Chains A and B, each alone.
Chain A
């Protein structure tokens, strides 16, 4: 016996949450794209694509975050901090998205606790829909995850082969609370076979790490990444990338301090005020990106800063992504030249 939820009741659940002033975030059609965005109506929820172009990262670590407003006057400086962390229900994240939250928790709670990030985490319930499809760009199974991974999720919905119904698993106390709040929408029943698709393992993460640790200097860095344009697409769509820039916008009278996404792939990311740039080319920037995700982050936090979602590859204007480079260097130093040819 298991807890089941029909697609119709999932839509109803979203409708109820909206009517109770939850902010409900889910994949939503926007022209040709599907994007994770706040829903205005339950009918907007679109679970018919593999995943949205963007990730759920921006609902915890916003693209442009207000840290405080300031006004300057005779009395000195007055600060006004944001108070708005709306109760949020995320419906339709994937296991890779949710797993990124667990990885970001480690960073944002490390040497300085980012209170805004954690307020958003506390205010959010994550309902993950397990993947019934995958594509060439997916590689969650190569980084220790799979479509059923529960990390970061509060509820898992597993699609049944019969169609139109999910088997429901509450992962956390928050998940249990959600099931209890709208208990009448859930039924008990025999689940039957499930429809879950996982990508094949595409590379050995340990071998990739070994290559990264041993090959700070290697012709691959120039050769493999010469085509890279140095834009921020991969880093911004990545659910785990978390670099940021803090800027003040305003005048002497008042303004705001903002925290914006930043990218290690931008040419000026590491430029010093002296004018010296320790990472002057795309080769050095890619080396850093891969070492950060697959060497430094696992060494410090116990997991790669990559969940294998494949967004970087799908959106890269020149088709690079992270999967192919990792396959090349996990093939070992000897096979680096030959690995690109299939």
Chain B
């Protein structure tokens, strides 16, 4: 599989279909997967793909310095493909400019599980393959068990839970920087005229930042957990995103990342949208 991946990457660079292949390499010393930007065909030998390759590389597609390298080819796991779909929906990327090398593994994060290239070449083909694998699997009862457990608690208990979690937040913004859908050139927390969200890492500031971020991702988050993985303080950010994703699914019959041609849930209106909250 890795030989095919490297061969494909090589072909793309040699034929000029891509100026840079964004994939995974290995850190010198311990082999930890790291994002890799390959511009020379000979360097494609450094590309790897293992179950440990979970960073969402779509993050780099909206970076100006990466865009300056030229047309990218992206080694894309299913969550990465979903993120690309949302970026196209939101006019951050053009679907026809994309070169995607779809990859997947049986159990991401679990060493030794099999990895393979996806068959699709276009975004639409890859979306279909990804939907076949993931749709209906991500917001199951089992996946939402921790969310449900929190919802069963009283408001005071839930507040105490999140207060304890956010007390560890150091406002490093690793969550935001790792997220492929946090691409604002200036984040709301960086505006200080007025200061909508306190930049200080105190309980109020931290809580507001994480709630704002979760709401800004409602209907957009592809549940890749890049944020939770990036967090150096192990804050379970995925719980907030999954809760809101479930709300969007249940209220608007919409899950982000499966169809780049669909109107985004939070930016469109259907007459079937429930309006129970204003009755």
Given known A-B contacts A263-B172, A266-B173, A229 and B29 have beta carbons under 8 A apart: no
Given known A-B contacts A229-B178, A260-B201, A268-B186, A318 and B172 have beta carbons under 8 A apart: no
Interface residue B55 (Cβ < 8 Å from any Cβ of A)? yes
Cα-based distance from A93 to B66 in the complex (angstroms): 40
Q: Is the CB of B229 within 8 A of A317?
A: yes
Cα-based distance from A208 to B144 in the complex (angstroms): 49
Query: What is the chain B residue whose CB lies nearest that of A223?
Result: B37
Name the interface size band of chain B: 35 or more
Interface residue B96 (Cβ < 8 Å from any Cβ of A)? no
Within 8 A of B (CB), among A289-342: 315, 317-320, 324, 327, 339-342
Cα-based distance from A236 to B231 in the complex (angstroms): 12
Q: List B contacts of A260 (CB < 8 A).
A: 171, 199-201
Q: Is the CB of A258 within 8 A of B28?
A: no
Q: List B contacts of A317 (CB < 8 A).
A: 55, 174, 177-178, 226, 229-230, 232
Q: Is the CB of B230 within 8 A of A226?
A: no
Q: List B contacts of A63 (CB < 8 A).
A: 170-171, 201
Interface residue B213 (Cβ < 8 Å from any Cβ of A)? no
Cα-based distance from A263 to B199 in the complex (angstroms): 12
Q: List B contacts of A40 (CB < 8 A).
A: none
Interface residue B12 (Cβ < 8 Å from any Cβ of A)? no
Interface residue B125 (Cβ < 8 Å from any Cβ of A)? no
Interface residue B156 (Cβ < 8 Å from any Cβ of A)? no
Q: Is the CB of A222 within 8 A of B200?
A: no
A217-252 interface code vs B (CB 8 A; 1 in, 0 out) = 000001100110111110011000000010101000
Q: Is the CB of A315 within 8 A of B232?
A: yes
Q: Is the CB of A245 within 8 A of B65?
A: no
Q: Is the CB of B34 within 8 A of A30?
A: no
Query: What is the chain A residue whose CB lies nearest that of B45?
Result: A341
A44-59 interface code vs B (CB 8 A; 1 in, 0 out) = 0000000001100000
Partner of B170, one of A230, A236, A245, A324: A236
Partner of A136, one of B29, B37, B168, B234: B29
Interface residue A134 (Cβ < 8 Å from any Cβ of B)? no
Measuring CB to CB, which residues of chain B are less than 8 angstroms from any residue of chain A?
A: 27-30, 32-37, 46, 55, 59-60, 64-66, 168, 170-174, 176-178, 186, 190, 192, 195, 198-202, 205, 226, 229-230, 232-234
13 contacts between A and B (CB under 8 A): A227-B36, A231-B172, A232-B170, A233-B172, A233-B174, A260-B201, A261-B171, A282-B65, A319-B32, A319-B34, A324-B28, A341-B28, A342-B28
Known contacts A227-B34, A232-B170, A249-B198; can you find 8 more A-B pairs with CB under 8 A?
A: A53-B233, A247-B199, A268-B186, A268-B190, A317-B177, A319-B34, A320-B34, A341-B46
Measuring CB to CB, which residues of chain A are less than 8 angstroms from any residue of chain B?
A: 30-33, 35, 53-54, 63-64, 136, 222-223, 226-227, 229-233, 236-237, 245, 247, 249, 258, 260-261, 263, 266, 268, 281-283, 315, 317-320, 324, 327, 339-342
